[in-house]
Amino acid sequence: ESRIEPGGNLRASWEALLKGARKCTRCDLYKHATQTVFGEGPLNASIMFVGEQPGDQEDLAGRPFVGPAGLLFDAALEKAGIDRSTTYVTNAVKHFKFVPRGKKRIHSKPGAGEIEACRWWIEHERELIRPPVTVALGATAAHSLFGKTMAIGKNRGVPLQLADGSECWITVHPSFLLRIPEEDRRREERALFVRDLKRIKDRA
């Protein structure tokens, strides 16, 4: 068992990693973002959730999934019976990528180069935390974790294996659920997301 309880060396290593991430210049996104949004949660978490990148509110708050997608995520976790505070939540890309439009900052999808540059951080987070179960929220997270494009529809709802042998699940991104215009379909898709989370909970 290589996972160490928080309070030992593990915490110091994670804090050193965080300190480095705050000064990251591995890609250009740091130039316009407010700050690095690193992962958070107990270092002995048995589930690691991986999102895409911080959004506008996360960029300002410095914490992952605290904006509209985060609220939906929290509600779905609650429905599935997962206590977020027992999980580690992070993103594939740790700086907000956006295009300014008037006073607004419009989310822009990270490219393969940015995902690749930022893999350095998530791989080190994973090395320290060693979660038995990892969850890719959407295609960017899946790309980062598997190192290649993974179709969501074909791969969701079943346990997959990462290169380190640990279990990984792919499901949709909460933002996708926010964008579905049609109410019935939105309700259906949210229920499928909760179903995925329940299955994941039973494995962790």
Residue 159 CB contacts under 8 Å (≥ 6 apart), including other chains = 167, 168, 169, 203
Neighbours of 194 (CB within 10 A): 18
Detail the DSSP E strand segments found in 69-197: 88-91, 98-101, 104-107, 133-137, 160-161, 167-171
Whose Cβ is closer to ligand URA: residue 10's or residue 72's? Answer: 72
Whose Cβ is closer to ligand URA: residue 41's or residue 51's? Answer: 51
Task: Please classify residue 62 by burial: count the beta carbons closer than 10 Å to its beta carbon, then call 0-12 exposed, 13-18 middle and 19+ buried.
Answer: middle
The neighbouring-strand residues paired with 91 are 51
CB of 58 to ligand URA, least distance (A): 4
Instruction: Note the residues at the interface with ligand URA (CB under 6 A).
Output: 51-55, 58, 64-65, 67, 69-70, 91, 175
Whose Cβ is closer to ligand URA: residue 10's or residue 37's? Answer: 37
Helix (H) / strand (E) element for 113: namely helix 112-129
Whose Cβ is closer to ligand URA: residue 87's or residue 91's? Answer: 91
CB of 175 to ligand URA, least distance (A): 6
CB of 13 to ligand URA, least distance (A): 23
Return the closest-CA partner of residue 133 out of 165, 92, 93: 165
Distance CA 64, CA 41 (A): 10
CB of 105 to ligand URA, least distance (A): 13
CB of 9 to ligand URA, least distance (A): 28
CB of 134 to ligand URA, least distance (A): 15
Whose Cβ is closer to ligand URA: residue 4's or residue 152's? Answer: 152
Whose Cβ is closer to ligand URA: residue 51's or residue 131's? Answer: 51
